[in-house]
Amino acid sequence: MRAEQILRTTPAGLYCPRGDFYVDPVRPVARAVITHGHADHARAGHGAVLATPETLAIMASRYGAEFTSNRQAAAYGARNTINGIDVTLVPAGHVLGSAQAVIEVSGKRVVVSGDYKRRQDPTCAPFEVVPCDIFISEATFGLPVFRHPPAEEEIAKLLRSLKTFPDRCHLVGAYSLGKAQRVIAHLREAGYDAPIYLHGAMQKLCDLYEALGVRLGDLRPAMDMMKTPLTREVFKGAIVLAPPSALNDVWSRRLGDVVTCFASGWMRVRARARQRLVELPLIISDHADWDELTETVQEVKPGALWVTHGAEEALVHWSNSIGIPAMALNLVGYDEEGAGETPPAAEPAA
């Protein structure tokens, strides 16, 4: 059986003809397998959706309970069948509920890894290596200049800055699904137990994480504090989390003198950090860095590597050079920034 008969690229995304389903389709389809809740992977309007219970809950919270007419919850490791094709979801370590889709057809195994990382993350299950014939990988940080330092070091940097600038509010930009909760969880691990203030756009997903069993500690809506006459006092030396789009927006003016921080793998490159007027870059990423990408490919030892989105060229070159034939799929519709933050129409812009 040829690879294309198991999975092929179409304008709507990766399609499995035998099982008549798509993985992370970018347009509405009859049947979809969704790897995780980021907006560029999980869109509303599919006929049927197979995903982990957490991903289904995230989609429902973002799009409303009616985001699909047929939900199929698939626990990690459980074998599901779609039109006779075996589909298993295993943890991808990217955000809560994120999964790799393991598709088996006539003894051939294809792993669609979605977005993934290999670092420790207190908010989600760690990536599992599944040996396979074809491994489909993203390449958001697919250049050897991207090597993320340990998240603990970056959190320590933030705590050190709070000590150096105790009178300034530390406004941390973080994507509202996954990154925000991970930053909070790492702060708690480091012993920071003061209240953390949230921009309105983060509240719902933080509540959902809590409901799904991820402890985040004392979180408070920043907006409530903005109404008091003591606003400036409250935010002195406090940590406030906001989506990146709010960092330099009018909203942030009410926080007084802020140290603008941004938690993202892109912060590795100075020009990117300066362009966003970031004063304290925090290199914390939910995507694999170069070493994680190359180590993962070597551990999975696939017969072939297909690269979906990001900096495909370097990863394909490297893979070919170690004898694993690779190609770029040139899928369109996925967020090259790896943010998954393209706000879906149903989500209020707050």
Decide if residue 262 touches other proteins (CB under 8 A). no
Long-range contacts of 146-150, Cβ-Cβ distance < 8 Å, separation of 24 or more: 146/265, 146/268, 146/289, 146/290, 147/268, 147/289, 147/290, 147/291, 148/119, 148/265, 148/268, 148/283, 148/284, 148/285, 148/289, 149/283, 150/119
Decide if residue 268 touches other proteins (CB under 8 A). yes
Q: Which does 146 bind (CB under 5 to 8 A by kind): Zn ion, other proteins, none?
A: other proteins
Angle, helices 179-189/200-211, rounded to nearest 10 degrees: 70
Q: What are the beta bridge partners of residue 259? A: 170
Decide if residue 345 touches other proteins (CB under 8 A). no
DSSP 57-96: HHHHHHH-GGGEEEEEE--TT-EEEETTEEEEEEE-SSST
CB of 6 to other proteins, least distance (A): 30
Q: Which does 123 bind (CB under 5 to 8 A by kind): Zn ion, other proteins, none?
A: none
Q: Where are the alpha helices (DSSP H) in 166-305?
A: 179-189, 200-211, 222-226, 231-235, 270-275, 290-300
In the chain, beta strands by DSSP E = 8-10, 13-16, 21-23, 31-33, 46-51, 68-73, 79-82, 85-91, 99-105, 108-112, 134-139, 169-173, 196-198, 219-221, 239-242, 258-263, 280-282, 304-310, 326-328
Q: Among residues 93, 91, 73, 84, which one has the least CA distance to residue 33?
A: 73
Residues 226-255 that bind Zn ion (CB under 5 A): none
Decide if residue 25 touches Zn ion (CB under 5 A). no
From 115, 292, 312, 341, residue interacting with Zn ion (rule: CB under 5 A): 115
From 15, 76, 165, 192, residue interacting with other proteins (rule: CB under 8 A): 165
Scanning 33-41, 67-75, 96-104, 269-277 for contacts with other proteins by CB under 8 A, the matching segment is 269-277
Q: Which does 38 bind (CB under 5 to 8 A by kind): Zn ion, other proteins, none?
A: Zn ion
Whichever of 27 and 274 has its CB closer to other proteins, that residue is 274
Per the CB < 8 A criterion, the answer to whether 18 and 5 are in contact is yes
Residues 192-231 that bind other proteins (CB under 8 A): none
The count of residues interacting with other proteins (CB under 8 A) is 36
Whichever of 102 and 247 has its CB closer to other proteins, that residue is 247
CB of 159 to other proteins, least distance (A): 14
From 213, 321, 323, 348, residue interacting with other proteins (rule: CB under 8 A): 321
From 137, 260, 308, 319, residue interacting with other proteins (rule: CB under 8 A): 260
Quote the longest CA-to-CA distance of the chain: 70
Whichever of 259 and 331 has its CB closer to Zn ion, that residue is 331
Q: Which does 340 bind (CB under 5 to 8 A by kind): other proteins, Zn ion, none?
A: Zn ion
Decide if residue 273 touches other proteins (CB under 8 A). yes
**Residues engaged in binding Zn ion (CB under 5 A):** 38, 115, 340
Residues forming the site for other proteins (CB under 8 A): 143-147, 149, 161, 164-165, 248-250, 252-253, 257-258, 260, 268-271, 273-281, 311, 313-314, 317-318, 321
